[in-house]
């Protein structure tokens, strides 16, 4: 498994170079489900690189990617679930906060996760029952309670009808914690909680490729990840998400 993480890390670093060297002025940008849901030629290109590279690393694994795939997830066998660029709007704006996320599932459970932020050259990864790491150093969630918490949240930007509820919840957390942040990358929000740099992250609607790798990274760092109702997250559908340390 350690070998596999090394191979995936090498691959995501190659993909990261493509992000950093992108010709943002000339790049093709299209919309998907609505005007805020954007995809660039680099999302597609990186997904292709991941598809090819991961096939070489683990040929028997099937492949689910945000930008489309022919495989359908089942509870048997190996699957990669990838987000080629998590934080596409940040990427388009040159905001320097996006990531590549790769999760490996075995029989319906995540057994390895890698999230790479090329702007900070940080590789977050976790192996089931093997701990969570950032650039080789073990990471742990913090032990601060809500009164000392930095709260991260996502705005579910492709479902604007969720805005009111999102900001209500954010206001409640703000009244009890230290402050709020909205980064633009769900995968990195999860890693930020895992690294103890923030205490809690929530969002009303996310997709499996946003959280599959980050969920394991938080759990292996000693945190908990559920839906906002406290239910187990499903890799088969979109759902709300709540990630936090165990003190809160």
Chain residues that interact with ligand IPD, rule: CB under 6 A: 66, 83, 86-89, 154-157, 184-186, 203, 206, 210
> Where in 46-75 is the site for Ca ion (CB under 5 A)?
66
184 binds, among ligand IPD, Ca ion, none (CB under 5 to 8 A by kind): ligand IPD
Q: Give the shortest CB-142-to-ligand IPD separation in angstroms.
A: 21
Q: Give the shortest CB-178-to-Ca ion separation in angstroms.
A: 26
Residue 197, classed as helix, strand or coil, is coil
87 binds, among ligand IPD, Ca ion, none (CB under 5 to 8 A by kind): ligand IPD
Q: Is 189 in the site for Ca ion (CB under 5 A)?
A: no
**How many residues form the binding site for Ca ion (CB under 5 A)?**
5
8 Å CB contact between 54 and 61: yes
Nearest to 194 by CA among 117, 96, 119, 84: 117
Integer Cα distance of 171 and 175 in angstroms: 6
Integer Cα distance of 94 and 73 in angstroms: 33
**Measured from the CB atom, is 185 or 192 closer to ligand IPD?**
185
Integer Cα distance of 72 and 79 in angstroms: 9
Q: Can you say whether the dihedral through the CA atoms of 83, 207, 112, 152 is positive or negative?
A: positive
From 40, 42, 45, 86, residue interacting with Ca ion (rule: CB under 5 A) = 86
Strands (E), the chain: 29-31, 38-40, 62-65, 78-86, 99-106, 109-117, 122-127, 132-134, 137-138, 150-153, 179-181, 200-206, 224-226, 239-244
From 199, 210, 219, 220, residue interacting with Ca ion (rule: CB under 5 A) = 210
239 binds, among Ca ion, ligand IPD, none (CB under 5 to 8 A by kind): none
Q: Give the shortest CB-193-to-ligand IPD separation in angstroms.
A: 14
219 binds, among Ca ion, ligand IPD, none (CB under 5 to 8 A by kind): none
Which residues here bind Ca ion, judged by CB under 5 A? 66, 83, 85-86, 210
């Amino acid at each position: 498994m350690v070998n596999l993480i090394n191979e995936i890390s090498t691959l995501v670093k190659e993909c990261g170079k493509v992000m950093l060297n992108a010709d943002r002025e000339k790049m093709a940008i299209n919309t998907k489900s609505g005007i805020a849901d954007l995809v660039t030629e680099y999302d597609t290109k990186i997904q292709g690189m991941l598809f090819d590279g991961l096939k070489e690393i683990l040929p028997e694994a099937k492949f689910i990617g945000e930008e489309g795939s022919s495989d359908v997830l089942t509870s048997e066998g190996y699957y990669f679930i990838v987000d080629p660029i998590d934080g596409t709007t940040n990427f388009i704006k040159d905001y320097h906060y996006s990531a590549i996320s790769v999760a490996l599932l075995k029989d319906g459970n995540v057994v390895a996760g890698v999230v790479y932020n090329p702007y900070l050259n940080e590789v977050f990864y976790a192996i089931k029952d093997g701990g969570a790491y950032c650039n080789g150093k073990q990471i742990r969630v913090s032990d601060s309670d809500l009164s000392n918490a930095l709260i991260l949240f996502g705005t579910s930007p492709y479902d604007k009808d969720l805005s009111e509820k999102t900001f209500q919840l954010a206001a409640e957390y703000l009244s009890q914690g230290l402050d709020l942040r909205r980064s633009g990358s769900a995968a990195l929000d999860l890693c930020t909680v895992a690294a103890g740099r923030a205490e809690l992250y929530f969002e009303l609607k996310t997709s499996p490729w946003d959280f599959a790798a980050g969920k394991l990274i938080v759990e292996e760092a000693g945190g908990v990840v559920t839906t906002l109702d406290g239910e187990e997250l499903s890799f088969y559908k979109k759902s709300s998400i709540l990630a936090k340390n165990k003190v809160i």
